[in-house]
Structure 1
Amino acid sequence: MVAQSLSSLLQRASIDDHEEVLQACTNSLSKNKSDLNAHHIKIIALLKLDRYEDALRVFETGGDDLKRRASFEYAYALYKIGKLNESMTVLSQSERSRGVNHLDAQVSYRAEQFRRAADLYEQLSQDKEAHRHEDNDLSINSWATDAQLQWKGEPEHVRHDRPSREDLESFETTFNAACLNIARGALPQGEVLLNRAKNICQTSEDLTPEDRAAELLPIAVQHLYVLIRLGKNEEAEALLKEISVDDIHELSTKKIARNNIVLARQTATNPFTLYKSLHSTPDATNNDRLFDFQDNTLVGNAHAADLLVQKYDGMVRSTAKALAKSSCPSTESGTNLLSVYNAAGQAEGQDGAKALKKIVPLLERRPKDLGLLLTVVQLYVKAGNTTSAITAMERSLRSLEESISEADQDARFNPGLLSTLVSLYQLEGRKLQIRSTLGQAASYWQKKPEAPTSLLRAAATSLLHSDDKADLVAAGDLFRSLHQKDSADRIAIAGYVASQATLDYSQVESQLDRLPAIGELVGDVDVSALESAGIMPSASVAAAAFAKARKRSATDKEGQVKKRVRHSRLPKDYDPAKQADPERWLPIRDRSSYRPKGKKGKQRAAERTQGGAVNESLDSSAQQKPASTVVSNKQNKKKKGKR
């Protein structure tokens, strides 16, 4: 009887009759609470009404049987309230279908598992017959996923490069293509695509005026960010008139919009106004949360405002509370950013040696705090003390190396952390330490299923410069493993040939044909221009030549740059047409024009003249006079005064 009433109701109901369907299911369940069919229909009606919390309560009432029967709806309800991990668990246990794959891709996207989302969208796109009516949606979502991969720092997994003509016919795809260019740092190209997306949206006949206004707001907010980055302040001011923050319904977009508006209006002249503006929008929750790269930027801006208004104690407490909930060590950018601002609060706005005096003791107590470590390193480098920066890094890495935790070991050989250490070694010319550090990291990551390619390539390249046969063998093994991962990697092939050519040429002779010919590499080089330009000298030769040029003699007239003399330093009777006396810097008696006056002056001049006649009588009398005579005369001299 219940099933018949529900069936007849659904036959009469229109697609907008969700409230009526919900009421009928409620009446049916009041008579039979174990009716799974009524529970299932009620859940669908609640989802249509966006009542996700109520739908989950129905699932809890229906039990495990209902969750298994309506696993898709259960995963969707969990996804909509932001329980992404639980939703992915339910989907992993569900029977695979096209709808499940769509939801799985969307959940993976919101969970910031962008590589998984990209793989799922590519899998959905391969079924040409099934996705014929989904072309636009799949294109929009795949472009958005690639933009997020670029922002997350995984450009090697990005599948799109340039938008096609079909992509540029939709404002959603054009907007996502603009976001991908912005993430790559190609801001001018991103601005062009944003303007195109805006024009397409404004002229679209498929949108109502309300929908058109809602779609234009995110485009304007993103465009404002680009204008700020490009320094187009006047255009940014004009664009502010098109953005009404109160009309933005999504809290995440509203928070980004308010942040960009504050920066565009340059309210930093009053730090308290800046602080109030950045904290005026509440944080988004559930499925409207910011992505990590967005949240990190806005959190950094908020803490910077805390520093400007000198809320040091509050910032230290809030960041310490957040850090206590995260693992240590952590390679997450958000966690390390909190450590940086915690250190800034501890330093109370001070810099240099004063800041180090307060922060270094913290690092001694928390040697595994990577954000704090990098802060200390930055302060040492800024002060020109590279040696202390290296010592601090080596001490923290040693504490990680002594740990048995796998997470600590992964942090110890983190590529970003090691690149900082290698850069410090390069500043001091420590080539052996560079080779040793990269070699240890390569040995560690080779045992892992997903080794960082950039680190292995850097380690192998560093080992190539060694004269040790074992290092060359290790470099060859690394380049061989890189080539096995990517057979089209010419760097791996060239590195393998270079490492093995001096050891066993027969092993690499067959690989030579796969390398580009020398003519291809130098085909676009203008040899004549290089010959006419000459060979650039090394740094030491250039420095010596510069020093020689600075010490050029005054008599060298060729290529000499005439020095400008200030008018105030010139004499009053200065005549630029008259040549100055070249002996004007010599004492008067040493000049060639000097003519002594009187008998004694002429006699002294004759005695000083080099190469002149010598008065032998004066010379012999001076040699015969004993030294004691001079002393006795000095001692026998009578003093003046009263007798």
Structure 2
Amino acid sequence: MRLEKNGKSQQTATDCRARRTARRSGYECTMAPKKSKASLTELLEQLTVHSGKEEHEHVLDVANKMLRLEAGDERAVEHKLIALIKLERYAEAVEFAKGHELGTSLALERAYCLYQVGELAGAEALVAEALAGADARTRRGLLHLRAQVAYKAGEFATAAAAYGELGAGAIAVEHEDYDISVNEVAIAVQRALWGEADEAGAGALAVARKLARGEAVNLGDSHGVSHEQAYNYACVLVAAEEYADGLALLKRAKALAQQLDGYTDDEIEAETLPINMQAAYVHGVLGHRDEAVAILNALDLAEDGAARVVVTNNLLALSGVPGYDLRNPHVALRLLTAVPAARERALTKFQRKELARNQLTLEHLCGKENSVKKGIKRHLQAYPADKSVELISIRPGVLDPYATGGKHTTKNLAYRVAKKYEREPTNVALGLAAVQLMMKDNNTTGANKVLDELLKLSPAQYPALRAVAGRVYQAQGHTVKAVRTMWR
């Protein structure tokens, strides 16, 4: 799995595994009406020839002819479904499969198509049903797909468990162990982004730091570190906010990708695309705005809708980029929502969360308050822990003269935010917003009260909270309290 933080495109090393495990079997002809027997036999021969040559358009044409002669012919159904997968016509494949009573037959192929069109719950249900009676080899293919589906859905514990079972079993396909190890690191990164610290994540971070220092690390491959491994471990460092080391490892990943043997220029460009996007993000975080803009503007995104959404988001976030100026939020919103289908199908849960929140912000700037209120409700249903999204709707309600009696003051805003925080005492973002507004209004007593409440939450879960509190206490002249808070 290749991934990016804060809205970077993510692909996975096993993304084609389901297609590679699509079955190729021989069949015996079934009995048919006399007038059709010769035609079916002839078509079956054509189907075999075209399938062997991987002429998928021809396979599709012949399979359709067979189905017109015998609607439920199993050979035609299977070959048509696989041809549609090979042609990447996944939505059509899903609809075709729904028209046949297949039970658990072709479960891997059908679940893979559901995964590709974003029907993750349906894909997992089909995989779970098929696993119950699968042989060892088929089970491995299904487990790869389960991990893929779970990763995209943000169910990282399920994905990790699937790869754990695969890693403990016998390797069935060449380089499968490599795929598993790469994907396990990707899961560790995503768990770090969502605050799900675990032992695997700690181990991945230790390896990433060694690679950044140039130390020798045994990753189970006699050929040394690959560009995919360097890239994923760079993402581990980025997730840990160790940006300088992460950027150095991204440069190494790009150099390794550019040296790949047997790859065309277009294939190398595809391999370096996520690396460049991640590097642009890190440059932006480090304040290297010009470098970030130059990288993003140089990318060829003609055929990658998901990457285009991410790049658009990041150019808007960099502010002031020609053609991506937030001073006209209507244009910005139109740019960000240009390819919604790709957003749902190709992006991870973390990316969808970030993009959805940014879209709500732009809708607010466009004055679409009814849409914002409904969007916040949907957002919290999908991401209940992301309470900070509620801040988008607070300011317009306070500054509306009809809602506040014309009092456009910081004190009024601070009061309303503080009242809302009293109803949601575990909402850290809301509490910090109240502290900021109270400090602007010189209400140090109120700010201290909110900070004290916030610090009762788990300090291990919110380490940055102690730093903020320490700086606020220091600014108020409470030096001893600041030091104790920082070093607690």
Is TM (by shorter chain) over 0.5?
yes
Return the offset for 1:118: 1.7
**8 Å CA contact retained: 2:425, 2:431:** no
Return the offset for 1:88: 0.5
1:120-199 aligned within 5 A: 120-157=162-199, 158=201, 159-161=203-205, 162=207, 164=217, 166=219, 169-199=225-255
1:551-630 aligned within 5 A: none
Which of 280, 287, 305 pairs up with 1:251?
A: 305
Q: 2:93 aligns to what?
A: 55
* Rounded Cα–Cα distance in structure 2 between residues aligned with 1:150 and 1:341: 25
- Cα deviation 1:78-99 (Å, max 9, x = unaligned): 1111000111011111134111
Q: 1:220 aligns to what?
A: 276
User: Residue type of the partner of 1:215?
Assistant: E
* Rounded Cα–Cα distance in structure 1 between residues aligned with 2:115 and 2:454: 48
1:236-635 aligned within 5 A: 236=292, 238-240=294-296, 242-244=298-300, 247-264=301-318, 266-267=320-321, 271-273=326-328, 276-277=331-332, 279-281=334-336, 282-285=338-341, 288-302=345-359, 304=361, 311=366, 313-314=367-368, 316-325=369-378, 331-333=384-386, 336-348=387-399, 352-356=410-414, 374=431, 377-378=434-435, 381-382=438-439, 383=441, 385=443, 423-425=451-453, 539=480
Alignment CA distance shift 1:371-1:156 (3 Å): closer
TM-score, normalised by the number of residues in structure 2: 0.70
* Rounded Cα–Cα distance in structure 2 between residues aligned with 1:175 and 1:319: 36
User: Residue type of the partner of 2:176?
Assistant: E
* Rounded Cα–Cα distance in structure 1 between residues aligned with 2:333 and 2:271: 24
Alignment CA distance shift 1:100-1:338 (3 Å): same
Whether 1:202 aligns to 2:258 is yes
- Cα deviation 1:437-492 (Å, max 9, x = unaligned): x8xxxxxxxxxxxxx9968xxxxxxxxxxxxxxxxxxxxxxxxxxxxxxxxxxxxx
Return the offset for 1:261: 3.1
> For structure 1, which runs of at least 5 residues remain unmatched after alignment?
392-420, 428-433, 439-451, 456-537, 543-643
Q: 1:105 aligns to what?
A: 147
Q: 2:124 aligns to what?
A: 88
- Cα deviation 1:24-46 (Å, max 9, x = unaligned): 22111112223233222221121
> For structure 2, which runs of at least 5 residues remain unmatched after alignment?
1-36, 209-216, 401-407, 462-478, 484-488
Q: 2:45 aligns to what?
A: 8
**8 Å CA contact retained: 1:347, 1:355:** yes
Return the offset for 1:152: 1.3
Whether 1:33 aligns to 2:86 is no
Return the offset for 1:68: 2.2
Q: Which has the higher contact order (CA 8 A, sep 6+)?
A: 2
- Cα deviation 1:47-103 (Å, max 9, x = unaligned): 11112222222222212xx14222222211111110001110111111341111111
Larger Rg: 1
Q: 1:467 aligns to what?
A: none
- Cα deviation 1:309-352 (Å, max 9, x = unaligned): x54x41x222211234466797421xx23311011222349662
Return the offset for 1:178: 0.9
User: Residue type of the partner of 1:72?
Assistant: L
* Rounded Cα–Cα distance in structure 2 between residues aligned with 1:100 and 1:39: 20
Counterpart of 2:347 in 1: which secondary structure?
coil
Q: 1:477 aligns to what?
A: none
- Cα deviation 1:155-178 (Å, max 9, x = unaligned): 225252315355763212211111
Alignment CA distance shift 1:30-1:241 (3 Å): closer
Return the offset for 1:126: 2.4
Q: 1:73 aligns to what?
A: 109
Identity %: 25
Q: 1:17 aligns to what?
A: 55
Return the offset for 1:243: 2.6
TM-score, normalised by the number of residues in structure 1: 0.54
Alignment CA distance shift 1:4-1:98 (3 Å): farther
**8 Å CA contact retained: 2:425, 2:454:** no
Alignment CA distance shift 1:31-1:86 (3 Å): same
User: Residue type of the partner of 1:276?
Assistant: V
Q: 2:15 aligns to what?
A: none
User: Residue type of the partner of 2:261?
Assistant: E
Alignment CA distance shift 1:539-1:88 (3 Å): closer
- Larger deviation, residues 191-200 vs 324-333: 324-333
Return the offset for 1:194: 0.7
* Rounded Cα–Cα distance in structure 2 between residues aligned with 1:252 and 1:300: 17
**8 Å CA contact retained: 2:426, 2:454:** no
Q: 1:553 aligns to what?
A: none
Alignment CA distance shift 1:221-1:26 (3 Å): same
**8 Å CA contact retained: 2:313, 2:355:** yes
User: Residue type of the partner of 1:130?
Assistant: A
* Rounded Cα–Cα distance in structure 1 between residues aligned with 2:232 and 2:298: 21
User: Residue type of the partner of 1:272?
Assistant: R
Q: 1:585 aligns to what?
A: none
**8 Å CA contact retained: 2:319, 2:326:** no
Counterpart of 1:93 in 2: which secondary structure?
helix
User: Residue type of the partner of 2:48?
Assistant: Q
Counterpart of 1:332 in 2: which secondary structure?
coil
**8 Å CA contact retained: 1:187, 1:226:** yes
- Cα deviation 1:392-445 (Å, max 9, x = unaligned): xxxxxxxxxxxxxxxxxxxxxxxxxxxxx7x52488xxxxxx6xxx8xxxxxxx
Alignment CA distance shift 1:371-1:4 (3 Å): farther
The CA RMSD over aligned residues, in Å, is 3.8
* Rounded Cα–Cα distance in structure 1 between residues aligned with 2:93 and 2:392: 41
Counterpart of 1:179 in 2: which secondary structure?
helix
Q: 1:465 aligns to what?
A: none
**8 Å CA contact retained: 1:329, 1:368:** no
Return the offset for 1:284: 3.5
